[in-house]
């Protein structure tokens, strides 16, 4: 009886402890939620930042306003920052801003979420506003499209009216959309007068019998006027300052006809024209397009297929389309994590065109089905479902996301931020900051996990790289009697592919800081001549993360 009583007392005591702990966990969750609500509340953030009246964004003020301890407030603020929900200014004092509020107030995409001073933060805002219309509407402008856009700008800015360029890409890769951005760029940078226009010539509408085709005229406010125009009238059009965007040149009849129209137009622009010429084609093949045209156009730019875009860019497309459909349907549409992954992994013959149609179909289906308005796997079009393995149809609805909650993984940007911090710290104090080095190491481990478990997709380039690396590693294992993890070839293949898609911005940033990085490496080598640098840093127990 005595043993039973003690056992009972022990159970009661354990129950009390559990209830106390659960109450504490709920209180902590509520405090974290209250901090986010405090920072999310409507206020004139833009004006406060301009005046540097930032007291209410400090840890002390947040803790006082919510009647919690400063230590607890600091803990939750850093957690929210790591969750990419806050922007942090690492000054004295430290300031925290709601990322959502900043994006609303400034209408900018905040890729950098850590700044070393208020001055740096304000300089970032100024620079971003200056460049706000320079192709930033194009998803991948700083990664997969970076090289193509650099070529476009170079062609436009060459001489008085640029040099002709040819955009090449399959249907749905964004050629027509890019034409509008090129026109906006030319207006903003005064390559064209403010009252100029863009003529979008639709090659598919060309009629051999009467030599007419459809032309859309965009004014500087992007208002459109549609005209049926004889081909000969285009020569009059290019005598005015404008951009002539000739879409689908492969549809202009025979190769001889193509050469007559395109090459004559190019010769006219060199002699008397004030127009910029941009051509597009979906195929560069002697079967459909005259090789003389390809040879005579100085700049040829290939746009990437959707399947060769990074997962991050596909998520940005998905997020952007869902936000538009939510506004259009006037309904709060959510998407399950399973459906999100299925859409990202889908195969789209017409690239972005089919991607948009698939999402629109899914939105319409989810709105029609019931009050929850959640895009589930079963809401997706048959084309996606046919190529999808469905081992488990029980979806976790608690994992459904609003469009604005879709996480965009941008490790390249994070690495650039860390590199910038390291260089600034070294310049300021003249030595390596071990705290930032620890952060680099932790980020490296997170990056490896990201490539292995989150960016778990494949395409032709990754498959080819994986096969080549696997063969190479097998030979090295046999030659040197070493063991290389079987997953490493796939991990390395995904890394190489990711570096290719974001390489322009990463490499530019590395070149900018290369001398400083080399100087830091020299100092590190002299400071730790006989041992590995990382062994001198006491890293935290990573199993806790």
List, for residues 185-243, the tens digit of each pLDDT value. 999 888 999 999 999 999 999 988 888 999 999 998 889 999 999 988 888 888 888 99
Q: What pLDDT does residue 513 have?
A: 55
44-74 pLDDT, tens digit per residue, is 777 777 777 788 899 999 988 888 888 888 8
Q: Six-digit token pair at 50? A: 């301009």
Residue 136's pLDDT band, with cuts at 50, 70 and 90, is: confident
Q: What is the DSSP letter of 406?
A: P
Average pLDDT for 123-145: 76
- pLDDT reading at 508 higher than 70: no
pTM over 0.75: no
Architecture per CATH, 310-405: Orthogonal Bundle (1.10)
Omega of the bond prior to 489 within 30 degrees of 0, cis? Answer: no
Q: Which of 375, 364, 358 is nearest to 325 (CA)?
A: 364
Q: Is 279 exposed, middle or buried (0-12, 13-18, 19+ CB in 10 A)?
A: buried
Delimiting residues of CATH 1.10.8.60 domain(s) in the chain: 310-405
What's the pLDDT score for residue 455?
57
pLDDT value of residue 533: 41
Segment 89-112 mean pLDDT: 81
Who wins on pLDDT, 297 or 403?
297
- Binned at pLDDT 50, 70 and 90, residue 15 comes out as low
Residue 505 pLDDT? 44
How far is Cα 12 from Cα 14, in angstroms, rounded to an integer?
5
Pick left, alpha or beta for residue 354 (phi over 0 → left; psi -120 to 50 → alpha; otherwise beta): alpha
Strand, coil or helix: 163: coil
Which helix (H) or strand (E) segment holds residue 336: the answer is: none
Cα distance between residue 325 and residue 358, in whole Å: 12
Mean pLDDT of 302-306: 92
Using CA atoms, how far apart are residues 541 and 545, in angstroms rounded to an integer?
8
Lowest mean pLDDT of 114-118, 246-250, 442-446, name the range: 442-446
Domain 146-304, CATH = 3.40.50.300
Residues in the chain: 545
Closest by alpha carbon to 92, among 117, 129, 63?
117
Q: Extract the tokens encoding 524.
A: 């590190």
The predicted structure's pLDDT at residue 175: 94
Q: Which of 15, 113, 190 is nearest to 414 (CA)?
A: 113
What is the CATH number assigned to the segment(s) 2-130?
Answer: 1.10.10.10
Look at residue 29 and tell me whether its pLDDT is greater than 70: no
Residue 99 to residue 97: CA distance in whole angstroms:
6
- Pick 391 or 321 by higher pLDDT: 321
**Sheet strands side by side (includes 242-247):** 224-230, 212-218, 197-207, 242-247, 275-281, 165-168, 299-302
Domain with CATH 3.40.50.300 in the chain: 146-304
Long-range contacts of 155-162 (CB under 8 A, 24+ apart): 155/298, 155/299, 156/182, 156/185, 156/186, 156/191, 156/276, 157/189, 157/191, 160/274, 161/269, 161/273, 161/274, 161/275, 161/276, 162/191, 162/276, 162/277
Domain with CATH 1.10.10.10 in the chain: 2-130
> Of 525 and 510, which is predicted with more confidence?
525
| Largest Cα–Cα separation, the chain | 109
């Amino acid at each position: 009886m005595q043993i039973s009583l003690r056992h009972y007392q022990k159970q009661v005591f354990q129950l009390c402890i559990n209830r106390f702990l659960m109450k504490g966990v709920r209180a902590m969750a509520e405090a974290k939620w209250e901090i986010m609500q405090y920072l999310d509340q409507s206020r004139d953030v833009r004006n406060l930042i301009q005046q540097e009246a930032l007291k209410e964004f400090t840890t002390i003020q947040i803790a006082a306003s919510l009647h919690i301890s400063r230590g607890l407030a600091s803990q939750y603020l850093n957690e929210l920052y790591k969750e990419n929900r806050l922007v942090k200014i690492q000054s004295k004092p430290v300031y925290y801003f709601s990322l959502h509020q900043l994006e609303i107030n400034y209408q900018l995409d905040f890729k950098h979420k850590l700044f070393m001073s208020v001055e740096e933060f304000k300089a970032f805002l100024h620079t971003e506003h200056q460049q706000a219309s320079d192709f930033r509407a194009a998803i991948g402008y700083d990664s997969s499209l970076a090289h193509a856009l650099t070529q476009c700008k170079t062609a436009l800015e060459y001489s008085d009216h640029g040099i002709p360029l040819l955009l090449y890409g399959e249907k749905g890769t964004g050629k027509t959309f890019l034409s509008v951005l090129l026109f906006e760029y030319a207006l903003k940078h005064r390559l064209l007068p403010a009252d100029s226009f863009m003529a979008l010539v639709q090659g598919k509408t060309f009629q051999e019998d009467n030599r007419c085709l459809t032309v859309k005229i965009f004014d500087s406010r992007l208002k459109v006027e549609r005209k049926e125009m004889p081909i000969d009238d285009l020569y009059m059009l290019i005598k005015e300052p404008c951009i002539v965007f000739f879409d689908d040149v492969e549809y202009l009849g025979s190769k001889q006809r193509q050469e007559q129209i395109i090459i004559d137009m190019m010769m006219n622009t060199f002699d008397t024209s004030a127009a910029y010429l941009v051509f597009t084609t979906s195929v560069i093949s002697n079967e459909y397009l005259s090789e003389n045209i390809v040879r005579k156009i100085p700049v040829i730019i290939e746009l990437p297929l959707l399947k060769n875009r990074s997962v991050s860019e596909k998520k940005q497309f998905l997020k952007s389309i869902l936000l538009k459909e939510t506004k259009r349907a006037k309904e709060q549409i959510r998407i399950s994590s399973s459906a999100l992954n299925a859409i990202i992994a889908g195969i789209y013959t017409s690239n972005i065109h089919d991607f948009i149609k698939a999402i629109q179909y899914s939105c319409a289906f989810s709105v029609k089905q019931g009050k929850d308005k959640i895009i589930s796997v079963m809401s997706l079009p048959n084309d996606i479902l046919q190529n999808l393995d469905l081992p488990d149809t029980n979806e976790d609805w608690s994992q459904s996301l609003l469009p604005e909650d879709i996480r965009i993984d941008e490790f390249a940007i994070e690495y650039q931020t860390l590199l910038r911090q390291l260089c600034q710290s070294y310049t300021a104090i003249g030595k390596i900051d071990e705290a930032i080095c620890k952060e680099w190491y932790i980020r490296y481990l997170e990056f490896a996990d990201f490539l292995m478990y989150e960016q778990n997709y494949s395409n032709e380039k990754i498959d080819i790289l994986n096969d080549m690396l696997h063969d190479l590693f097998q030979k090295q294992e046999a030659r040197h009697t070493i063991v290389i993890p079987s997953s490493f070839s796939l991990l390395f293949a995904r890394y190489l592919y990711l570096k290719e898609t974001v390489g322009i911005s990463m490499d530019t940033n590395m070149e900018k800081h290369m001398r400083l990085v080399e100087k830091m490496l020299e100092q590190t080598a002299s400071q730790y001549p006989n041992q590995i640098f990382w062994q001198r840093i006491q890293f935290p127990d990573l199993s806790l993360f």
